[in-house]
Structure formats: C-alpha cells, structure tokens
C-alpha cells in the first residue's frame, strides 16, 4: 500500500451505483431465477468499464470495480460457499425498532431490494465451493482497469459481518462459527492478494453490530466481541503482508439517527489488534465527525495508515473541495504525519443492489470534489502554491 509521499492520495470504500439492467440481473441470480449468462457477462463488462472510467476521470488514485459484480458487499457469499440455507432471523438495529417511521421511510424509498435482513442461515458445515467466480471478477477488473490507477483494490467481507448477516444454526457457538468462516474465507482473501490487488476487509460488525447483534451487551462486552472478530480477521488473512490489507470499519451505511453508535474511542484499541496496514473509518457522518479526538488517547500505530472518510455517502449534498481539504487536514493533525493519510469516502455508494442513497451523478461529483479537496490540502501540507 503506497503512502501519500508526494501528495494526498485518494480512494473510496468500494461499492458504486449499479445500473437498472445489471441490478435486475444480479437480483435474479441471487434469487435463483433464470437469467441469460451471456447478457450478464456483457452487462458486467459495461458496468465495470463505466465505473472504472468515472473513477479515473474523477482523479481517484486507488480504485476498484465498484462491486458491480456482486449483489451486496457480503450477501453474495452464500452463492460461493456451501452450508447456507433457509432464512436468517437477523436482528434489526435499535433505532429501527425505536423509530418505526424510519422503517416505513426505507420501505417507501427502497421497495425492491436484494436480500439483507432475510439472507440464508448456516445450516451445515461451511465449505468454499470454487474461487472461479472471484477469479473472473478479478480478471475482468484488471483487464479493464490496466493503467488507470496507481493501485487497485478489491473488497471482501469480514468473518464477523458474515456471521451476523447469515446467522449460525449449525456450529452452536459464535466462536466456532467465526473460526469456520475465517477458514473458508481465506480462499477469497488469498486469491485477491495473489492477484496483486490490495485486499480490503469490510467489517461494519466492528462498530455497527453494537446496535444489532451485540446490542444487549455493555460497551466492555462489545469490545471483547470486537476483539474476537478481529482475531477471526487475523486468522483469515494470515500470511498476507499487513501492508497489502486495509480494514474498513463503519456504523452502518444508512440515513438514520445513529444515536446508539459506539464511540470510536472505546473500540479503537481493539481495531489496532488487526494485522492490517490501514484503517478506513468514517468521519464525515454527522454523528462521528468529532471523533478524531480518539487518536489523542489512542495514537495510530506507526505501522498503520489512516484512510478517513472525508465524503459522506448517504446524502446528495456535494461537499465543497475546501470542506474536504479541511477534513483531510484534521485527519493529518490527528495522525501527525501527512504521508500516513489517504483520503476516502465514509462508506460505499451501492452497499446493496437497488439501495443507493445517492444519485449517480452526485457520486461522481463527490469523487471529483474528493480529488480537488485533496489537491488543496496537498498544497497547504506540502507548502506549495498549487497541488502536484
């Protein structure tokens, strides 16, 4: 993972909006309904080419395929792993129970979405079936993106978020279930690494699940759960150099009150236990924009980079480049070194198919503003009249 040696580098968290035709095909595939494989392949080519071009045009340094080839950032896993069936009775977040108006609003806004709450559960021994679908994703992305980015990354879900989305009905304990998932997800993690891509582990479980799966614990109990989830990540990525892995942590990519979110200060020491080279954390979410202060109490380890979210991902407001620059400068002040900050978004823009909060034109404007803000920050941080 390259640091920001000569200028503030830019990236994003992963998912980008999918077009309607591709969305329909992905939902059909997830539901086991018939679809035209040739049509799917052609549409995937078009979609990946489109988002790669848009990222490059916006000035993104470290890009990906926009997760165009997956129905959701973690709910695609049962398509590749044997052992899942039925339906999980996944618990909703506290605010969805406290504010029925929020649920009603979501239903009105997103009447047809992919499986999120009703994903299958684990009913037998887990076994990763075949890495060929992943290898196909990687090959398509690398062919299309050749020469477009300084570095390329690909996402994969953490064992923890898989465990809290596709609930266990077989192993009998969260500990055993996490170990089984980590063992099988090594197939994905290693395949992405061996392809020469940066591996991004998506782990909203390390923050979001405070209000969902672990909502009945106190903060200390949740921190212990986070430590076990981090251990599972380390089991899964064992053997991959830490500088080739980055970890994304978030509080849930929805427009809601977020009043029950766990403070970053409480979980940060547990996050530092991850054998990764960078932490991606949201800081533009209005509920968490103040949390750079956590780094004063728990300084970022010297062998880690910070990838702060300086663009919010559930609003169609396009941040002014000066706002972005100030957020970057605040991150640099918190870390203490400009070279260890890579500017990013809070979360993905297309976390699940057919559930995009931000209209597509605004997404590209936001990424453009990310680059422009990074250039402004670069000029000030490196003492230049204009950004390189």
pLDDT tens-digit map of 137-177: 999 999 999 999 999 999 999 999 999 999 999 999 999 99
Calpha distance 284→290 (Å, rounded): 9
The verdict on pTM exceeding 0.85 is: yes
What share of the chain in percent tops pLDDT 90? 82
* 111's tokens: 């009447």
Least-confidence region, from 32-36, 46-50, 110-114, 273-277:
110-114
Establish how many alpha carbons lie within 13 A of residue 340's alpha carbon, considering only the half-sphere containing its beta carbon. 20
Look at residue 387 in the predicted model and tell me its pLDDT. Answer: 43
- How far CA 285 is from CA of 120, 261, 351, in Å, comes to 30, 11, 16
**pLDDT tens digits, one per residue of 291-316:** 999 999 999 999 999 999 999 999 99
Listed in order, strand segments (DSSP E) in the chain are 9-10, 62-63, 81-85, 121-128, 151-157, 198-202, 245-249, 278-282, 305-309, 342-343
More confident residue, 385 or 308: 308
**pLDDT tens digits, one per residue of 74-133:** 889 999 999 999 999 888 778 878 888 887 887 787 766 555 567 899 999 999 999 999
| DSSP string for 325-376 | HHHHHHHHHHHS-GGGBEEB-SS-S-SBTTB-SS-HHHHHHHHHHHHHHHHH
Q: Which domains does the chain possess?
A: 9-381 (3.20.20.210)
* 252's tokens: 């849930």
């Amino acid at each position: 993972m390259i640091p920001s040696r000569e200028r503030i580098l830019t990236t994003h968290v992963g998912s980008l909006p999918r077009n309607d035709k591709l969305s329909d095909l992905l939902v059909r595939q997830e539901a086991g309904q018939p679809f035209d494989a040739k049509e799917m392949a052609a549409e995937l080519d078009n979609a990946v080419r489109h988002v790669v071009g848009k990222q490059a045009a916006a000035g993104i340094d470290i890009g990906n395929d926009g997760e165009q080839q997956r129905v959701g950032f973690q709910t695609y896993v049962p398509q590749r792993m044997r052992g899942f069936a039925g339906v999980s009775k996944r618990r909703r977040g506290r605010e969805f129970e406290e504010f029925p108006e929020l649920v009603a609003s979501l239903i009105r806004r997103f009447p047809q979405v992919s499986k999120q709450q009703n994903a299958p559960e684990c009913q037998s021994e887990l076994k990763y079936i075949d890495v060929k679908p992943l290898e196909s994703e990687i090959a398509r992305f690398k062919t299309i993106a050749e020469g477009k980015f300084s570095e390329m990354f690909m996402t994969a879900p953490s064992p923890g978020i898989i465990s809290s989305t596709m609930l266990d009905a077989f192993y009998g304990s969260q500990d055993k279930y996490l170990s089984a998932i980590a063992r099988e997800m090594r197939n994905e993690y290693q395949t992405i690494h061996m392809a020469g891509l940066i591996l991004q582990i998506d782990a909203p479980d390390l923050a979001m699940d405070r209000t969902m799966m672990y909502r009945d614990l106190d903060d200390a109990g949740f921190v212990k759960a986070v430590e076990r989830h981090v251990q599972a990540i380390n089991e899964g990525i064992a053997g991959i150099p830490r500088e080739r892995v980055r970890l994304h942590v978030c509080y849930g990519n929805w427009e809601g009150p977020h009043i029950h979110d766990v403070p970053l200060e409480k979980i940060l020491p547990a996050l530092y236990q991850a054998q990764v080279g960078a932490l991606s954390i949201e800081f533009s979410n209005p509920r968490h924009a103040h949390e750079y202060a956590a780094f004063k109490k728990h300084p970022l380890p010297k062998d880690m980079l910070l990838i702060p979210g300086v663009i919010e991902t559930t609003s169609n407001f396009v941040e002014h480049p000066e706002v972005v620059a100030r957020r970057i400068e605040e991150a640099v002040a918190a870390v203490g070194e400009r070279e260890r900050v890579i500017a990013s978004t809070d979360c993905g823009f297309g976390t699940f198919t057919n559930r995009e909060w931000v209209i597509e034109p605004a997404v590209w404007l936001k990424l453009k503003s990310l680059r422009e803000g990074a250039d402004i920050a670069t000029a000030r941080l490196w003492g230049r009249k204009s950004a390189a």
